[in-house]
A and B are shown apart, each in its own frame.
Chain A
Amino acid sequence: MNNTVHTAVEFLKVTKAFGNVKAVRDVSFQIKSGELVTLLGPSGCGKTTTLRLIAGLEMASGGQIMIGGRDVTQLPATDRDVSMVFQSYALFPHMTVLQNVSYGLTMSRLSKNLVEEQALNGLKLVGLTGFEKRLPSELSGGQQQRVAVARALVLEPEVLLFDEPLSNLDAKLRRRVREEIRDLQQQLQLTVVYVTHDQEEALAVSDRIIVMQEAVIAQQGSPRELYESPKTRFVADFIGDANLVNGQLVSSEGEMGKLQLDELTIQLPHLNLPIGEVTVAVRPEAIMLDPRPEATGIPGTVHKAVYLGSHLEYEIKSAVGELFVIDPLGKEFIAEGHPVRLRIRERGVNLVHD
């Protein structure tokens, strides 16, 4: 359908204050059409407020919000070309499934036939044909969720918003539904903004992730960028697991710098950090353990070892501190108390801002 790529949502230095508390501070970003962008962060970071600012359920205290190239900063929710899937689904309990899905269409004053056609289409898209006459209370959690999606979808909004849509589902369903959402988004080329606090969910569904922390954007990028090169300590820790240790940046040349971590020297982007002590984020799976006595690397001892079938997990006491290590190969079980040497793969280590 909509093949020309354009900017669907744009925030320009948007601020939202509740009294003296700023829930969102000077936030700017762009979302392209057909993109699924996740707002990720711990609770209270401002991600939901950001979503509600897009929806028009909150009014910005400062800055400018554009949707589809139009300034909507002062426009109420009703007049914005967005629709939203709520955490609680917010299905109208007194209306049937079909009435729920038709609701938005009716507001647009389409002819009755067209409304019904479009609504049935929406239900078909989410695989709920045949459920039209049911009341929301007669559906399972997953089905309710799909009705909520269908209801938002049929309006073909410029941008579709999801507020933690999976949080009320059990773990198994969650996986399936998030895939369905992703499929639907890909298939219909929808622009989606998705809020979650679950990093795994974010990595799984997103084209791009915006990580928020304390009312500002901590970092944005593709899931891979965020995982592989987190820019801050917070992002490194929040997305995936990371061992945060101290090292010495000894020199820098161009983009790259030389990091001294105990006995190891690693080449990596220096992020314009000053020479001297720096924080280093090391992914657990990037640490390689060598139990051989002749091995080189950072010296340490296995404090705890856990066998998990697909992989092994270790806790190592080392010269740079306590480290959490995942050994996916599980080639050899190292007993607790055994001394080891550690080496680090370059793709799993990053300097981060504090």
Chain B
Amino acid sequence: MSSTTLSLSRRIQLREATPYLFRKALLLWLSVGWFGALVLPWYQAYDGFWSFIWIEDGWPLDDEYSPGILQIFMQDRLWLLPLMICIGLPIICFGWKRDDPRLANFLMGCGGLGLCWILLQGFVIGLRGWNSEAFLLLLGSPGPSQEGMGYGALLVASCLLFLFTQGWSLRGGVQGDGFVTGAIGLNVLLVLLFIFYPVVKILFSALLNEEGALAPILFFQKLTSERIWQLNCFNTGLSCGVAWNSLYLAILVGITTTLLGLAFALLVTRTSIRGKQAYRAITLLPIITPPFVIGLAIILLFGRSGVVSSFLEWAFGIPPTRWIYGLPGIWFAQTMAFTPIAFLVLVGVVEGVSPSMEEAAQTLRANRWQTFQTVTWPLMRPGLANAFLLGFIESLADFGNPLVLGGNFEVLSTQIFFAIAGAQADQGMAAVLALVLLGFTLTAFWIQRRWLGQRSYVSVTGKGDAGIPVQLPKRVRTGITLVCVPFGFLSLTLYGMILFGGFVETWGYKHNFTFKHYLDAFAVSWSDKFGLMWEGTAWNSFWTTLQISAISAPLTAGLGLLTAWLLVRQRFAGKDVFEFITMLSFAIPGTIIGIGYILAFNVPPIEITGTGIILIVCFLFRNMPTGIRAGVAAMAQLDPSLDEASLTLGAPSSTTLRKILLPLLRPAMLAALVFSFVRAMTAISAVIFLVSADYDMATSYILGRVENGDYGLAIVYSSVLIIVMLIVIGGIQWVVGQRQLGRRGSSPISWSGNG
């Protein structure tokens, strides 16, 4: 062994690098800010975020396209001046040493004040002058005006955020790590802007009357209205309040999905039945099914003139009825749709019940039935409760199935939609109903966290458990086979109907074979002049959907994992509140989010309605909770020493995240990716209000077709979407399969808990 090659001089060279890096990062971000302030247009051009017309259309002197600095001096927009000062002053920092105590406070001050000011001026000075009544009265009308923030403002805001978080880290915040403080700052700002703000905006409208004045009494009347809370269904033939309906339905759906999910989970993990993979595949289909489709297929099977009803009439003379419309139909459809979620949760739970515990029970002279009763079942109970709550929440938020199958059975999610889009057009009522719905979901979440938080995880040790899962007792096995086989058959029939429905002229009436719907939607032709022509009416929304989903999915997975990383691996004040707000968008019905987004982002300072960005942002923040969960679950399995080792070896935390955590989290990341992609492809309720001419989404197109009775086209489009999603998921899984690290026990990430 020799020590001669380890020399001191080299070490000193290496270790001086970091302060220098800090200065470089500061310079980089300041130049970003300066570029934004001095060069790029400050305000958003009317042509949209991606439009670069401004380059040749009057920039930099034209009012509309001027950079911030010229706005101040040429347009007298003096309120922008403090921002310039905030990003200009830090230049004096370059003369200071890194450990100069003034540095941290100075940067924090500049960044913090600047951020506050940029938000304040944005919200106070609107498109038509002062936004607030108080200012109007105080300073006279109408005051200065400005457009929505554009590239320039965006860059300056990023720069200010960086100054602030960098200062915070210099003060030793969050282990003194600039990347982490930056990530937290960015995350908090985004979550406040894109979750908290729109949600508050819409819920606040519950308190307003139609003239926009505060009306607490009206609010109270609406909140306690009979239509929400009446209990007539118990003593008279009338229907109950819509809140009770929703609650009742959600409980039923929670129970059936949990039981069915459990049956499938047991079938797949604890029996030697053949074709397990097929069962897994069947249960996954509903997840990638666009809304409405299951409901439509059910009508075609069990409706009054449906296949099954007609057969029953023909064979047994049972007159067809309309039983499917209303509670039974929704219950049925939601059970079909949400059982997979319960299944995915419960497969993990059942697999997590350590066989050695069951073996232990058996060595203690318990027979199979007693083992199941005394060991297996109690161990699964918390997981069952978890699955129940997920089914409950999904049912509350579901919009597509009640819309198609509701009959006279009113539920909150559709009532909210029709309160806004129906003939009443009562946004306040919608907000009140949303509050009720939100109350239910948050209570469910609260119970889940409070009561199950610690108990719901069955420990899976990384060490191989040598035991072999105990086979189920015979009566249980017979029971679940009797449940699962018909259910699987029914699923297949429904999907068969869907596929079949695309090829018949008029579903449910004229069943002659035709390609007409496919041609209408997806015709392609070749012309010598223009080359390939996408003639079908669906192409436009199809490409948009793919594009938006493909962009939002990696962003969602990335931001979700980053947030998970912050939540799992970092400590900072207010983490609980932060976590709560990130979960908020998940608990709120999509319709409310949609309207909230329009209210919040149709006007400056952030004006993104009618663009693709609002769709991306909406998906990003609606689906992020799932990414967070996947990330949290996966990260909990990774030894924290791994990141710490990387840190002490001199890797900054950004590098640690990239080089250590990301490769190890690859399966989780791809699961999150697939999931966000699928959710973006199939989301409907929030999307209805956010689609625009240039950015129409597949689901909104399908809704239009369903409204119009064009079931053929709707079904054709849905089957194409299902197939596209299958291909995408298959492709991603193929990639994961190739690269997965067999060694580290990465359990399958459950797709549970989505809204």
Contacts and interface: CB of A to CB of B under 8 A. Distances in A.
B466 interface: no
Interface stretch (A76-84, A193-201, A251-259): A76-84
Contact of B664 (A89, A94, A135): A94
A120 B708 CA distance: 72
Interface string B391-420: 000000000000000000000000000000
Given A93-B743, A94-B663, A137-B743, A59 B172 contact: yes
Contacts of B659: 103
Contact of A110 (B8, B14, B99): B14
Interface in A72-119: 73-84, 86-94, 103-104, 107-110, 117-118
A59 B176 contact: yes
Contact of A155 (B172, B176, B649): B649
Interface in B155-178: 169-172, 175-178
A1 B9 CA distance: 10
B491 interface: no
B8 A57 contact: no
Nearest to A108: B14
B3 A1 contact: yes
Contact of B650 (A75, A92, A117, A155): A155
Query: For A74, A77, A118, A161, which residue has the most chain B Cβ atoms within 10 angstroms?
Result: A77
A154 B10 CA distance: 11
Nearest to B645: A90
Given A76-B647, A92-B660, A156 B17 contact: no
A2 interface: yes
A78 B650 contact: yes
Contacts of B19: 79
A71 interface: yes
B99 A90 contact: no
Contact of B170 (A74, A109, A151): A74
Interface string B650-665: 1111010001100110
Which applies to chain A's interface (DSSP): helix, strand, loop or mixed? loop
Interface stretch (B348-356, B543-551, B636-644): B636-644
B274 interface: no
Contact of B177 (A76, A82, A154, A155): A76
Given A1-B8, A110-B14, A90 B639 contact: yes
A121 B570 CA distance: 35
Contacts, number: 133
A187 B1 CA distance: 9
Contacts of A161: 648
A76 B743 contact: no
A77 B8 contact: no
B17 A108 contact: yes
A107 B3 contact: no
Contacts of B17: 108-109
Contact of A71 (B18, B99, B176, B664): B99
B510 interface: no
B11 interface: yes
A59 B652 CA distance: 16
A93 to B, nearest CB: 5
Contacts of B744: 93
B307 to A, nearest CB: 53
A73 B652 CA distance: 17
A83 B11 CA distance: 13
A187 B3 CA distance: 8
B659 to A, nearest CB: 8
Interface in B88-131: 99, 104
Interface in A1-42: 1-2
A84 B648 CA distance: 6
Nearest to A184: B1
Given A78-B18, A109-B17, A90 B642 contact: yes
A124 B1 contact: yes
Contacts of A56: 175-176, 647-648
Interface string B735-746: 000000101100
A82 B649 CA distance: 8
A77 B648 contact: yes
B11 A156 contact: yes
Contacts of A90: 639, 641-642, 644-645
Interface in B626-643: 639, 641-642
Contact of A57 (B2, B10, B648, B664): B648
A121 B5 contact: yes
A22 B426 CA distance: 56
Name the interface size band of chain A: 35 or more
Nearest to A75: B176
A107 B649 contact: yes
B7 interface: yes
Name the interface size band of chain B: 35 or more
Contacts of A107: 649-652, 655
B365 interface: no
Given A74-B170, A94-B664, A103 B649 contact: yes
B6 interface: yes
B392 to A, nearest CB: 34
B648 A82 contact: yes
B638 to A, nearest CB: 9
Contacts of B104: 74
A87 B641 contact: yes
Nearest to A138: B743
A156 B649 CA distance: 11
Contacts of A137: 743
Interface string B259-293: 00000000000000000000000000000000000
Contact of B641 (A88, A151, A156): A88
B182 to A, nearest CB: 13
Contacts of B650: 78, 83, 104, 107-108, 155
A40 to B, nearest CB: 21
Interface string B1-31: 1110111101100110111000000000000
A316 interface: no
B649 A83 contact: yes
B741 A94 contact: yes
B6 A78 contact: no
Contacts of B171: 74
Contacts of A93: 664, 741, 743-744
B647 A156 contact: no
A11 B511 CA distance: 85
A58 interface: yes
Contacts of B743: 93, 135, 137
Nearest to A84: B648
A188 interface: yes
A132 to B, nearest CB: 17
Contact of B176 (A74, A83, A108): A74
B646 interface: yes
A298 interface: no
Contact of A103 (B5, B170, B646): B646
Contacts of B663: 94
B640 to A, nearest CB: 9
Given A93-B744, A151-B649, A77 B175 contact: yes
A77 B655 contact: no
Contacts of A78: 18, 177, 647-648, 650-653
Nearest to A188: B3
Interface in B16-55: 17-19
Interface of A: 1-2, 55-59, 71, 73-84, 86-94, 103-104, 107-110, 117-118, 121, 124-125, 127, 135, 137, 151-152, 154-156, 161, 187-188
8 contacts: A74-B176, A83-B650, A90-B641, A90-B645, A108-B15, A127-B1, A156-B6, A187-B1
Given A79-B19, A108-B15, 4 more contacts: A73-B172, A76-B176, A86-B644, A187-B1
* 4 closest residue pairs by CB, A with B: A104-B649, A90-B641, A90-B645, A108-B14
Interface of B: 1-3, 5-8, 10-11, 14-15, 17-19, 99, 104, 169-172, 175-178, 639, 641-642, 644-653, 655, 659-660, 663-664, 741, 743-744
